[in-house]
């Protein structure tokens, strides 16, 4: 998986490209780690992926908890309908904050 | 009808992409969309990951197989056969995923939940010294849960 980090305004945006399978989840976990503390605003751009396994969901759930414990925010977005379906099947569509398009949140009110 | 095909895998998570390519290569000629195929790939990755991570605890190299056989639908009967200790992944209680609060969401059990949700049917059988997990998958289904 390829992960590209940009920092528009107050946000840290990680764009994910490839499969969030076992290996991809490890990479995602490592890429997220530096951004979970300090009350940051973190966004995950899923436009380059249409696959996430349970290990990936676990990485996201753990990240969500850590970000919120640090009074930060984590927003997921730019999901294809197929990827969104996996989140809904996992019962996580209503757990995470999901924004389509992500730009509406990133460029919106702080 | 596409003939049955088998892939042999090692107990190493690095085998997952090879499994994904095998599934994709078998299902695409059946007329299934890549979004549909992702569902089968996901279910098989969950099963195979379980076998690789939990199946063998002796540190040795083990092999196991995944068979795919096309059925009308289009669909596939997928069979995972391993000679690890007897283990029925379906015996585990389904996790409660009804809460929208992250604090109340169980971390475990999600893989088996995804398998059940994405497959039309799943059955476990201990056959001699082997675990045999048989999954029926139909492109386009099952209904969203």
pLDDT category at B1 given cuts 50, 70, 90 is low
Cα distance from B128 to chain A (closest Cα, Å)? 30
3-state secondary structure at position A23: helix
Q: How far is the C-alpha of B43 from the C-alpha of B46, rounded, in Å? A: 5
3-state secondary structure at position A93: coil
Q: How far is the C-alpha of B38 from the C-alpha of B24, rounded, in Å? A: 8
CA B31 vs. chain centroid, Å, equals 20
Residue contact A53–B144, C-beta within 8 A: no
Closest of A79, A90, A84 to residue A55, by C-alpha: A90
Q: Which two tokens stand for residue B11?
A: 């107990």
Which residue in A88, A95, A96 is closest to B144 by CB distance? A88
pLDDT tens string A16-38: 999 999 999 999 999 999 999 99
**Chain A neighbors of B107, CB-CB under 8 A:** 58, 61-62
- Check residue B107 and give its pLDDT: 77
The predicted complex's ipTM stands at 0.91
Cα distance from A105 to chain B (closest Cα, Å)? 21
Q: In terms of CA atoms, which chain B residue is nearest residue A93? A: B100
pLDDT tens string B51-108: 999 999 899 999 999 999 999 989 999 999 999 999 999 998 888 888 888 888 887 7
Residue contact B49–A64, C-beta within 8 A: no
Q: In terms of CA atoms, which chain A residue is nearest residue B48? A: A22
Q: In terms of CA atoms, which chain B residue is nearest residue A90? A: B114
């Amino acid at each position: 998986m390829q992960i590209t980090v940009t920092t528009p305004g107050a946000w840290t945006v990680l764009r994910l490209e490839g499969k969030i399978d076992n290996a991809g989840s490890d990479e995602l976990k490592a890429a997220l780690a530096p951004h979970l503390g300090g009350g940051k605003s973190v966004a995950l751009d899923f436009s380059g992926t249409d696959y996430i396994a349970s290990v990936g969901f676990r990485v996201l759930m753990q990240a969500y908890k850590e970000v919120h414990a640090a009074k930060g925010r984590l927003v997921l977005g730019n999901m294809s309908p197929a990827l969104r379906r996996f989140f809904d099947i996992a019962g996580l569509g209503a757990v995470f904050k999901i924004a389509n398009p992500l730009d509406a949140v990133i460029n919106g009110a702080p | 009808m596409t003939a049955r095909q088998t892939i042999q895998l090692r107990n190493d998570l690095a085998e997952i992409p090879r499994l994904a390519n095998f599934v994709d290569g078998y299902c695409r000629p059946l007329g299934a969309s890549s979004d549909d195929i992702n569902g089968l790939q996901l279910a098989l990755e969950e099963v195979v990951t379980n076998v690789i991570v939990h199946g063998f605890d002796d540190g040795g190299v083990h092999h196991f197989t995944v068979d795919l056989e096309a059925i009308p639908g289009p669909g596939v009967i997928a069979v995972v056969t391993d000679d690890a200790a007897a283990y029925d992944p379906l015996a585990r209680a389904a996790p409660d995923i009804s809460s929208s609060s992250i604090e109340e969401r169980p971390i475990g059990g999600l893989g088996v939940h995804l398998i059940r949700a994405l497959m039309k049917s799943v059955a476990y059988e201990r056959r001699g010294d082997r675990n045999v997990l048989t999954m029926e998958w139909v492109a386009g289904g099952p209904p969203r849960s």
